[in-house]
A and B are shown apart, each in its own frame.
Chain A
Amino acid sequence: MNMRVHVDMELCQSHGQCVFAAPAVFSFDEDDNLVHQETAAESMREAVVRAAAACPVRAVHVGPPDEGDVSGGAAA
């Protein structure tokens, strides 16, 4: 099963910690905006959870794809 990855772009300050932790899922585009995959393979979970924990503004959330509320993933 894939997991869903959500970034609250209102919060994101382009710290890049998520990009450092999981470059396969998060990256910066040419204009230095954060882009990320909406879903990621289960095998990426550890890296994505690490990315969520590393984000200084707690903008990264992880959840299963069918879940409506994807908040709170950082601490789960």
Chain B
Amino acid sequence: MSQGLQGAGILVVGASLAGLRACVVLRELGYDGRLTVVGDEPHLPYDRPPLSKGFLVNQDEDVRLPLPDGLDIDWRLGRRARALDLGARTVEVDDGTLLPFAGLVIATGSTARRWPGPTPAVGVHVLRGLDDARALRTALRRGGRLLVLGAGFLGSEVAASAHGAGVPVTVVEPEPQPMRRAVGEAAGAFVAALHRRAGVDLRTSTTAVSLIGDPTFTGARLSDGTEVRAGAAVVAVGAAPSTDWLAGSGLRVAGGVVCDHHARVLLEDGTPAPAVVAAGDVTRWPHPWAPGPGLTLGHWSHATEQADTAARSLLRPQIPAVYRPVPSFWSDQYGVRFRSVGLPALADSAEVRENDPDARRLDVAYYRQGRLVGAFTANRVGRTAAYRARLATELHELAG
């Protein structure tokens, strides 16, 4: 183990899935020095996936992530990191405190994008954290229609959950199908059919021209010339890596904090910053399937697996661990279990191997330059596991 990490210890910024996983692995590997975690939410780490599913419409289920015994963490919750000084090896927190570190884990995740136009002060929501989910749930209980802006995974899930709780829902999506950028046309059409069969008012190839209401949201004008009246809106137009606090630090930030395949963070000159690693939604990292500047992924499994690598590379810099995963993602909508493996978004062609809307089953394989790069299935987990195995072999061959 690297002895240099003992004194000031390891500082983790971001108290969520990736940050906690890094802490757990650091302790598992025998690190017994100081471990400090800064998080801007007031909560101990919790799981986000339930927030757009059952949690949004049911009672307050327990979403806390388990904290194994012996973690011995100095939690600094409700505190936002606002600047990193690599020379002094300190992070400045929003109350002015300077936290020194010998090793740093960057795990600040991503932040929901806001509505780009003028936005009523009350009744327009985003969904990223626990407090967002509680606020949206309260709004849904007040009754009235829910307007969902954006039909990616998050928007689609929110629409399905709200509909399941008896809330009338309108979804507005600029693309011709929901989730199209992630999984393409055929899978998107399958999801569109689910929404429409359920009775959700899905408007594709449509944008919201303006949100109405001052200060309280009452509806929206749409590009199809109609006006939708609604009691609440959810903006589900994606998330951006939370890197604002790294500006001017000397770390390379380009649509995420840039890492190598050991989860080590790179300086502006492209060399790894000593004892600085990162994991989760906040990173941009190289993958053999991804062209150019690499990937950012907002996937649960990515956050945990990259955090594992980050902890190992930090403790054992001489033999840094390698992060080269077959990505995977899940989504639950209308009781249908969607499973994605690999990177369907990178494909140049797709093969629909099964599409049975009545049985609610789907099986699509994705190729790039003739090689399998991903699969997306509905209610076909067994096949997903088979694809996963094939993809692992492909990746292994490619990486040599």
Interface residues of A (CB under 8 A from B): 13-17, 19-20, 23, 27-30, 32, 53-54, 56, 58, 72, 74-76
Q: Are B304 and A53 touching (Cβ within 8 A)?
A: yes
Residues from chain B with Cβ under 8 Å of A13 in the complex: 330, 332, 337
Contacts known (A13-B337, A16-B339); A56 close to B385, Cβ less than 8 A: no
A30 to B385, CA, bound (A): 12
Instruction: Give, as a whole number of angstroms, the nearest-CB distance from A22 to chain B.
Output: 11
**Cβ B66 vs Cβ A28 within 8 A:** no
Q: Is the CB of B330 within 8 A of A15?
A: yes
B392, closest chain A residue (CB): A20
Partner of A20, one of B47, B68, B388: B388
The answer to whether A23 touches B389 (Cβ under 8 A) is yes
Q: Determine chain A's interface SS by DSSP, over half rule.
A: loop
19 further interface pairs, Cβ-Cβ under 8 Å (given A15-B381, A23-B389): A13-B332, A14-B337, A15-B330, A15-B339, A16-B328, A17-B301, A17-B328, A19-B388, A20-B326, A20-B385, A20-B392, A32-B380, A32-B381, A32-B382, A53-B304, A56-B47, A56-B49, A56-B301, A75-B24
How many Å from the CB of B391 to the closest CB on chain A?
10
- Chain A residue with minimal CB distance to B382? A28
User: In the complex, which residue of chain B has the Cβ closest to the Cβ of A18?
Assistant: B385
CA distance A28 to B339 in the complex (A): 14
B381 cross-chain contacts in A, Cβ below 8 A: 14-16, 28, 32
B66:A16 contact, CB within 8 angstroms? no
17 contacts between A and B (CB under 8 A): A13-B330, A16-B328, A16-B339, A16-B385, A19-B385, A20-B326, A20-B385, A20-B392, A28-B381, A28-B385, A30-B382, A32-B380, A56-B330, A58-B66, A72-B68, A74-B66, A75-B66
B371 CB to closest chain A CB (Å) equals 20
Q: Which residue of A lies closest to B388 (CB)?
A: A20
Instruction: Give the shortest distance, in Å, between B176 (CB) and chain A (any CB).
Output: 30
> Are A16 and B384 touching (Cβ within 8 A)?
yes
CA distance A13 to B331 in the complex (A): 11
Compute how far the CA of A58 lies from the CA of B308 in the bound complex, rounded to whole angstroms: 17
- Per-residue CB contact flags for chain B residues 366-393 toward chain A (1 = under 8 Å, else 0) read 0000000000000111101100110010
Given contacts A20-B385, A20-B388, A23-B389, are A32 and B379 in contact (CB under 8 A)?
yes
* Those of B52-75 within 8 Å (CB) of chain A: 66, 68
Least CB distance, B46 to chain A, in whole angstroms:
13
Q: Mark B144-185, 1 if CB is under 8 A from A, else 0.
A: 000000000000000000000000000000000000000000
Shortest distance in angstroms between B240's beta carbon and chain A's nearest beta carbon? 24
Query: Quick one: which of A16, A53, A74, A75 contacts B388, CB cutoff 8 A?
Result: A16
Q: How far is the CB of A74 from chain B (nearest CB, A)?
A: 8
* Chain A residues whose C-beta falls within 8 Å of the C-beta of B337 in the assembled complex: 13-14
CB contacts (< 8 Å) of B68 on chain A: these are 72, 75-76
Q: Is B115 an interface residue (CB 8 A)?
A: no
* Interface membership of B190, Cβ < 8 A: no
Would you call B334 an interface residue if the criterion is a C-beta within 8 Å of the partner chain's C-beta atoms? no
Q: Which residues of A contact B392 (CB under 8 A)?
A: 20
Docked complex: B324-353 residues within 8 A CB-CB of A: 326, 328, 330, 332, 337, 339
Contact of A56 with B24 at beta-carbon distance under 8 Å, contacts A14-B337, A23-B389 already known: no
A5 vs B163: C-alpha distance when bound (angstroms): 38
| Distance in Å: Cβ of A28 to nearest Cβ of chain B | 4
A45 to B313, CA, bound (A): 22
Residue of B24, B379, B384 with highest tally of chain A CB at under 10 A = B384
Asked if residues A20 and B328 are in contact (CB atoms below 8 Å), the reply is: yes
**Inside 8 A of B328's CB, which chain A residues have their CB?**
16-17, 20
Give the shortest distance, in Å, between B45 (CB) and chain A (any CB): 13
Q: Chain B residues near A14 (CB, 8 Å)?
A: 337, 381
Expressed in whole angstroms, the minimum distance between the Cβ of A14 and any Cβ of chain B is 5
Closest B residue to A29 by CB, please name it: B382
Task: Please tell me if B245 contacts chain A, counting CB pairs below 8 Å.
Answer: no
Q: Return the 9 tightest CB-CB contacts between A and B, nearest first.
A: A75-B68, A28-B382, A19-B385, A14-B381, A32-B382, A32-B381, A20-B388, A16-B385, A16-B381
Closest to B326 in A: A20
Which residues of chain B are near A23, meaning CB under 8 Å? Answer: 385, 389
Distance (whole angstroms) from the CB of B175 to the closest CB of chain A = 27
